[in-house]
Amino acid sequence: MKHSYFLNRLLLFSSLIFLFAFSSVAQTIKGKVDDYKTGEPLAGATVHLTQQGVNKTAPVNLNGAYAFKNVHSGSYQIQVNYIGYKSSQVYEGNINSTDEIKIINIDLQDASTQVAEVKITGQGNNKETDRAARGIEKNAVMIENILSANTIQLLPDVTVANALQRVSGVSILRSPSGEGRYAIIRGMEQRYNSTLVNGIKIPSPDPAYRFVPMDIFPSEMLERLEIIKALTPNMEGDAIGGVMNLVMKSAPNHFVLSANISGGFSSLFSKGRLFNAFDPSSARQSPATIHGNSYGATYADFNNKALTSDQSLNNPLSSTAGLTIGDRFLNNKLGVIVSASYQNIYRGSNSKRLIPNAQPDYQPLPNSPQFSDSFDRTYSTQTQRLGIHNKIDYAIDDKNKISLYNLYIHQNEFESRLSSDTLGLGLNSTNFSKQITLSNRSTLTQQTIYNSTLHGEHFLGDEWKLTWDGVYSRATRNMPDRTEFSYDANKAINSTGVVTNEYDNNTALTHHWENNKDQDISGYANLIYTPKIAGKPVEFSTGGLFRHKIRDAYYMEYTLKGGSTLYNNNFNSIPFTMSLPIDGTGNSNPGLSNNYHITENDNAEYLQARFDLLPKLQVLGGVRIENTNLSYLTQSPITVSARSGKYIYTDVLPSIHLKYALTDNQNIRASYFASISRPGFGEQVPYQIDGEYYKEIGNQNLKHITADNYDVRYEFFPGGADQLLLGSFYKKIYNPIEYYVVRGSGPSDLFIQPQNAPGNATNYGFEALATKFFGIIGFSANYTYTHSRVTTPKLLYAPTGANGQPMNSIINETRPLQGQANNVGNASVLFKSANLGLDMQLAFVYTGERLAQVSAYANLDFYQHAYNQLDFSFEKTLTKHLSFYGKINNLTNAAAKIYLKYPHDKIKSQLQEFLGKQDIAAQTLVQSDYYKTLFLGGFRYKF
């Protein structure tokens, strides 16, 4: 299965390389029409050819190319016209039969650039095109991949997270409802990657980690998405996999107005599988927050609206809307853009999962799989996203300019989870009795990111430049009053399998508050000196940053029990009480260590130089020093060890980047950089929270991760949006942090805990990316092979004691890093016809098998099976300003499936009834999530 995909990919890839050769036509005049400044191909321009008084015209296609075939011998004149541009000069010449092909490339000048040419970089809509993106990739000092706004607009994706999976070397992790959430870059999971907005690090609303959930960003707000895979000294050094830089739309050259609106639905919610909607609880704060930690809350303090307001919706309608307005004033000195995006999406999934027992069996084989629970869950998720951003740039004069950027993003996620948990498989649930815990959980999660950046650039004479940024950012996440109701259905079953008796008891009601806030105040400054030394320009730069971060986390949970009262489908008749009155106070919250305050002061300084060592060899090198000073304080009592802690560390991060220009459109690059990855905030605090399937605990002894990274890459930019990239990388990672399933102090306790893997990890691989347009049809494919290895101790439960006594012992096991897939690829077919006004894209994503969850026991790791997704999108121009577009996600209803590498027919007979439908003989399917197909269609207006 895996092999055939691999071969297909190679075949497609090699055929694309082959197709880069140009074909030739006899007696032809052809060439390209580009923007004079940006090099962007000017598709839609008209080329006029005059020969002996006869006029011919030819359109410029997507590549920027035009051609006149069967041209007569003799003199000719050529001129290009395009709206918004000055007409080109008239090119005159002679063509005769020996010429066969005459190539005439023409640059047009933007009409607006004639006036008041102020030196402004980073302006203009033209940066949103593929061609501009290729130019940035080509000229970049480091290794990166870019998705342009035009590419993103046509993608089937409405969030940045889903768009990320289209980038070479990137795969994504999904939320329970199937929405992409985190990016894995080159096999390095989310902790190894950082997120920037316009080059500025933003704090995360995540409750425990530094990485930012990428589904919170509507993709239409982006000018381009950069994935930077090699760090230069002037960049923050805390990324090992890569950096995702979200470059937001900046003010245009002229008045711009665009708007879009769409509607859609998920095919999951039909045919009896209804969407479960609820109104959130009105209790924003916990009783302990309102009345103080000594207050003893009772049932009367709680509001169960999130459960009692449940209602089923049949095929709820999703909708999105976007609006962008921008213009330039004061003789083009002042640019303003405001853009807003709103999304209201209904998604969901059906999930089945087997939970491994805290200990496997030692017979018939050592570490024979044993399961404790069989979960059946349905998720209904409504996500409302609102993003607003605004950029104002002002050129004081041609040497000084400042800009102010504001970003506000807010997301409400209403998630309803209905679970059925058959527990104690073989122990409490047998063929004659079943114990099933049924639960209904309603969660509202509100996340907000706000960022405000004041940026200045000053040219201090010809050779000196100063840039600075003052940043205030704040990320919050609030989960007010997550409410869950559960009860046990106890069923007695007779010998023919009929339920003869059922009683429902053990009712429990949980109210849960979880808030966190992360606030940054940072300053950046860079001084750039570009003298000419030995006649060659050399760029020295130095600078640094200071960041003061405050993070607070609040966690409070109340559990009420219904006692011995049986549950008869009447929630209101249950006499819920605290088991013990003291359980209602904040002081007795067992998770006091989850309430913590963190202060982090980071500063970093760098020195870098860039020069041409040889005429075609550019060198960029230098060093960065990162100083980290983090301290935490939890609310745990003073008798609790690790209730507070402080970490101070300094890292010295050298790097060097070489770029050799083989030709004008081919580069070879090589780079080395050292980088770090800091542990998540929650990870170092000894917290304990209930995760989706496991309890998660912190580890105050975590060390930060460091890495040495090596890259080489070959690049070919034949023109237009076409490109060919071939790269390879090698990473050595020290103190990698992996999540382990560990056993707690109790025999049934299973926790997930982050730990530094003993020994180092290695990760290497290669990437290939090719894009080629043939007139209106384009093909794009990328493929990444990754190989990572880490060796860690695992438990082996085997009859190794006297008389075959079972004993637990330690053995070493080598495995890939979590989340890393050996094979990751994308392929898409694009159709872009300016004549028909129709753009279409069929996009395929392949993520090979990857390690989903590490077990404490050898050979019992969970692997996610290879995942394929096929998406389709199109946009049709209806009038000059109006177009209709559609996006269809997951055409083939691909499922996310997780397997244990153990033949399912070897699982013990008593467990077979809980396994469900199996499909791979050599493995056991332990989790499957189905999302079904998502449809979205709407209109876009552009002025």
Partner 1 sequence: MKKYIIPIISLILFASVSGCQKWKGEHTEIYSYTPPAANPVSDKAPLSCGGGSTVSAVKGTMLSGKTYTVQAGCDLVINPLDTLLMQPGVTLNMGAGSSLIVLGTLVSNGSKNQPNWITIPGITKNDAPGGLAPTADPAYAGKWKGIIGGPTCNLMVLRWTHVEYAGLTEGDATSKLADAGSGNQYSILFANYKGSFIMEDSWLYGGVDDPIRISAGKVAIFRSTFEKNGAIGGDCLNAKGGTVGTMAYNLFMGTATNGQKASNKGQAIGAPQTNLVMYNNTFVSGGYRQQQSGRGGCINYEEGAAGMYYNNVAINCRFGYRVVGNPVADVAHLSYGNNYQWADSLSVANQFYPTGYITQPQSTDIPSITTSAKYLPTNYQLGSIYDGSDVVQKNNPAFLNFPLPTSGHALSQYSAVGNFNFHLQPSSPLIGKGNTGIKPLITVPLDKIYGLSDPTPPGADLGCYQLNGTGNQH
For residues 572-611, which are near partner 1 according to CB under 8 A?
579-580, 582-583, 588-593, 607, 609, 611
Q: By C-beta, is 41 or 562 nearer to partner 1?
A: 562
Footprint on residues 666-695 left by partner 1 (CB under 8 A): 688
Beta-sheet pairing, 924-930 with 895-900: antiparallel
Q: Which stretch binds partner 1 (CB under 8 A): 40-48, 104-112, 273-281, 503-511?
A: 503-511
Place of tokens 């060890």: 641
Residue type, position 364, single letter: P
DSSP symbol at 616: T
Tell whether residue 533 is a contact of partner 1 (CB under 8 A): yes
- Number of Cβ within 10 Å of residue 584's Cβ equals 21
- State how far the Cα of 118 lies from the Cα of 332, in Å rounded to an integer: 8
- State how far the Cα of 110 lies from the Cα of 132, in Å rounded to an integer: 15
Q: Which of 7, 11, 118, 427 binds partner 1 (CB under 8 A)?
A: 427
Q: By C-beta, is 328 or 610 nearer to partner 1?
A: 610
- Binding-site string for partner 1 from residue 690 to residue 719, where x marks contact by CB under 8 A and - marks none: ----------xx-x----------------
- Number of Cβ within 10 Å of residue 836's Cβ equals 12
Footprint on residues 470-499 left by partner 1 (CB under 8 A): 488, 490-492, 494-495
- State how far the Cα of 3 lies from the Cα of 478, in Å rounded to an integer: 45
Q: By C-beta, is 736 or 938 nearer to partner 1?
A: 736
Of the candidates 403, 412, 517, 411, the one whose C-alpha atom is nearest the C-alpha of residue 452 is 403
Q: By C-beta, is 901 or 908 nearer to partner 1?
A: 908
Closest approach of partner 1 to the CB of residue 903, in Å: 18
- State how far the Cα of 926 lies from the Cα of 369, in Å rounded to an integer: 11
Place of tokens 């290729």: 134
Q: By C-beta, is 683 or 849 nearer to partner 1?
A: 683
DSSP reduced 3-state for 336: strand
- State how far the Cα of 475 lies from the Cα of 212, in Å rounded to an integer: 10
Q: By C-beta, is 270 or 701 nearer to partner 1?
A: 701
Q: By C-beta, is 138 or 659 nearer to partner 1?
A: 659
Q: By C-beta, is 333 or 743 nearer to partner 1?
A: 743
Of the candidates 500, 486, 492, the one whose C-alpha atom is nearest the C-alpha of residue 420 is 486
Q: By C-beta, is 119 or 906 nearer to partner 1?
A: 906
Closest approach of partner 1 to the CB of residue 911, in Å: 7
What sign results for the dihedral spanned by CA atoms 67, 71, 77, 83? negative
Q: By C-beta, is 523 or 744 nearer to partner 1?
A: 744
Task: Report helix, strand and coil shares of the chain as percent, to nearest 5.
Answer: 10, 60, 30
Q: By C-beta, is 336 or 607 nearer to partner 1?
A: 607
- The H or E element containing residue 15 is helix 2-18
Closest approach of partner 1 to the CB of residue 245, in Å: 26
Tell whether residue 910 is a contact of partner 1 (CB under 8 A): yes
Place of tokens 């309102």: 290
The reply to whether omega before 364 is within 30° of 0 (cis) is yes
- Binding-site string for partner 1 from residue 366 to residue 385, where x marks contact by CB under 8 A and - marks none: ----x---------------
Q: Which stretch binds partner 1 (CB under 8 A): 432-440, 720-728, 784-792, 817-825?
A: 432-440
Q: By C-beta, is 94 or 701 nearer to partner 1?
A: 701
Q: Which of 20, 255, 329, 432 binds partner 1 (CB under 8 A)?
A: 432
Q: Which long-range contacts (CB under 8 A, 24 or more apart) does 681-684 make?
A: 681/208, 681/209, 681/210, 681/518, 681/551, 681/553, 681/598, 681/632, 682/207, 682/208, 682/209, 682/553, 683/208, 683/209, 683/737, 683/754, 684/630, 684/632, 684/645, 684/647
Closest approach of partner 1 to the CB of residue 307, in Å: 22
Q: By C-beta, is 56 or 597 nearer to partner 1?
A: 597
Closest approach of partner 1 to the CB of residue 647, in Å: 6
Closest approach of partner 1 to the CB of residue 544, in Å: 13
Footprint on residues 801-860 left by partner 1 (CB under 8 A): 801, 803-810
Q: Which of 192, 362, 375, 785 binds partner 1 (CB under 8 A)?
A: 362
Closest approach of partner 1 to the CB of residue 237, in Å: 12
Of the candidates 231, 227, 242, 196, the one whose C-alpha atom is nearest the C-alpha of residue 653 is 231
Footprint on residues 769-808 left by partner 1 (CB under 8 A): 795, 797, 801, 803-808
Q: Which stretch binds partner 1 (CB under 8 A): 28-36, 126-134, 357-365, 413-421?
A: 357-365
Place of tokens 């560990």: 742
Q: Which of 175, 190, 232, 359 binds partner 1 (CB under 8 A)?
A: 359
Tell whether residue 426 is a contact of partner 1 (CB under 8 A): yes
Q: Which of 327, 361, 463, 708 binds partner 1 (CB under 8 A)?
A: 361
Place of tokens 């020290």: 734
- State how far the Cα of 133 lies from the Cα of 805, in Å rounded to an integer: 65
Footprint on residues 209-268 left by partner 1 (CB under 8 A): none
- State how far the Cα of 803 lies from the Cα of 815, in Å rounded to an integer: 32
Q: Which of 92, 398, 749, 919 binds partner 1 (CB under 8 A)?
A: 749
CB 258 within 8 Å of CB 647: no
- Count of residues of this chain found to bind partner 1 when the rule CB under 8 A is applied: 95
Tell whether residue 542 is a contact of partner 1 (CB under 8 A): no
Burial class (CB in 10 A: 0-12, 13-18, 19+), 678: buried
Closest approach of partner 1 to the CB of residue 167, in Å: 31
Q: By C-beta, is 375 or 606 nearer to partner 1?
A: 606
Q: Which of 621, 698, 727, 778 binds partner 1 (CB under 8 A)?
A: 621
| Both structure tokens of 287 | 């009783």
- Binding-site string for partner 1 from residue 86 to residue 105, where x marks contact by CB under 8 A and - marks none: --------------------
Closest approach of partner 1 to the CB of residue 830, in Å: 44
Tell whether residue 429 is a contact of partner 1 (CB under 8 A): yes
Tell whether residue 296 is a contact of partner 1 (CB under 8 A): no
- Binding-site string for partner 1 from residue 626 to residue 655, where x marks contact by CB under 8 A and - marks none: ----------xxxxxxxxxxxxxxxxx-x-
- State how far the Cα of 212 lies from the Cα of 195, in Å rounded to an integer: 7
Q: Which of 321, 365, 623, 726 binds partner 1 (CB under 8 A)?
A: 623
Closest approach of partner 1 to the CB of residue 229, in Å: 21
Closest approach of partner 1 to the CB of residue 713, in Å: 22
CB 180 within 8 Å of CB 174: yes
Tell whether residue 908 is a contact of partner 1 (CB under 8 A): yes
- Binding-site string for partner 1 from residue 726 to residue 745, where x marks contact by CB under 8 A and - marks none: -----------------xxx
- State how far the Cα of 6 lies from the Cα of 484, in Å rounded to an integer: 45
Closest approach of partner 1 to the CB of residue 427, in Å: 6
Tell whether residue 428 is a contact of partner 1 (CB under 8 A): yes
- State how far the Cα of 898 lies from the Cα of 867, in Å rounded to an integer: 10
Cα within 13 Å of Cα(650), Cβ side: 4
Q: By C-beta, is 134 or 434 nearer to partner 1?
A: 434
Question: Beta partners for 651?
Answer: 626
Footprint on residues 113-142 left by partner 1 (CB under 8 A): none
492 CB contacts (<8 Å, ≥6 apart)? 432, 433, 499, 500, 501, 502
Task: Indicate left, alpha or beta for 785 from its phi (over 0: left) and psi (-120 to 50: alpha).
Answer: beta
